[in-house]
């Protein structure tokens, strides 16, 4: 009897190991395939930039991108980081792009996305843009570079392209924050909530927090919040805050 039980346990262990290896293999296969999707569109954008005149304000071929996915509506770039991606928004499922790439492939690294509570023209007081904190440095991993005081001081711009315009934002804060849903916690249409959100940023306490003095931002501004996770701290988020400026 003991022999039989031992054999059963042995084969169960073999099956579990095989399934585990298969799962890991599938995960990395999907991840590599999904990363290829982003490299392809990034290459197209770079080629488009080189083709266009220097005066062309919008070097992104949105018509081509929308053939890949009509949910693509903007593009975000941050100098000296890997943040150089299309922004998507699902009309039906806010969590869809958490684990789907821009071409609909399931799995990591997901996409850079906003939720439908935010307008696609960035006219809201606060537009929250989400991206994974990927260990390989992709997606929003490089937001954590802004934890460093020198990097924060030397890098203060975010560029967002839409089909109709190029928007420039100045980074005014990078903070460790709690994991509350910002759009449900602070109403964009409520002046008091706008003020409360800005105050909550300065109330955050962490040695990683950075603030830029002299930047004009108030309840009438248009800001973006770039939100990503913090490894090992599921109850925290790292936020990079930037305000739209005229350039």
Known catalytic residues? 132, 229
Beta strands in the chain (DSSP E): 72-77, 84-88, 112-113, 126-130, 157-162, 166-178, 210-211, 223-229, 236-245
Find where tokens 């950075």 sit.
210
Token pair, residue 129, equals 């843009």
Q: Which residues pair with 85 in a beta bridge?
A: 76
3-state helix, strand, coil in the chain (%, to 5): 35, 25, 40
* DSSP-assigned letters across all residues of 1-45: -HHHHHHHHHHHHHHHHHHHHHHHHHHHHHHHHHHHHHHHHHHHH
> What single-letter DSSP state applies at residue 32?
H
At 205, phi and psi to the nearest 5? Answer: -120, 115
Find where tokens 């346990």 sit.
9
Strand 126-130 versus strand 223-229 pairing type: parallel
Contacts of 18 (CB under 8 A, 6+ apart): none
């Amino acid at each position: 009897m003991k022999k039989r039980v031992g054999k059963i346990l042995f084969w169960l262990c073999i099956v579990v190991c095989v399934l585990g290896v298969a799962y890991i293999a599938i995960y990395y296969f999907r991840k590599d395939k999904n990363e290829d999707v982003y490299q392809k569109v990034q290459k197209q954008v770079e080629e488009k930039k080189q083709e266009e005149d220097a005066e062309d304000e919008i070097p992104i071929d949105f018509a081509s991108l929308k053939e890949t996915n009509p949910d693509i509506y903007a593009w975000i770039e941050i100098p000296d980081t890997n943040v150089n991606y299309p922004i998507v928004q699902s009309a039906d499922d806010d969590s869809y792009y958490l684990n789907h790439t821009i071409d609909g492939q399931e799995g990591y690294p997901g996409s850079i996305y906003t939720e439908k509570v935010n307008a696609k023209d960035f006219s809201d007081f606060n537009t929250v843009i989400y991206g994974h904190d990927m260990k390989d440095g992709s997606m929003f991993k490089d937001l954590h570079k802004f934890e460093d005081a020198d990097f924060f001081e030397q890098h203060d711009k975010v560029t967002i392209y839409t089909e109709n315009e190029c928007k420039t934002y100045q980074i005014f804060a990078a903070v460790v924050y709690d994991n509350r849903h910002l759009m449900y916690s602070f109403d964009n249409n409520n002046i008091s909530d706008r003020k409360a959100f800005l105050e909550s940023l300065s109330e955050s306490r962490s040695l990683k927090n950075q603030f830029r003095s002299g930047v004009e931002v108030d309840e009438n501004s248009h800001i973006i919040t770039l939100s990503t996770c913090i490894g090992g701290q599921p109850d925290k988020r790292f936020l990079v805050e930037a305000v739209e400026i005229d350039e």
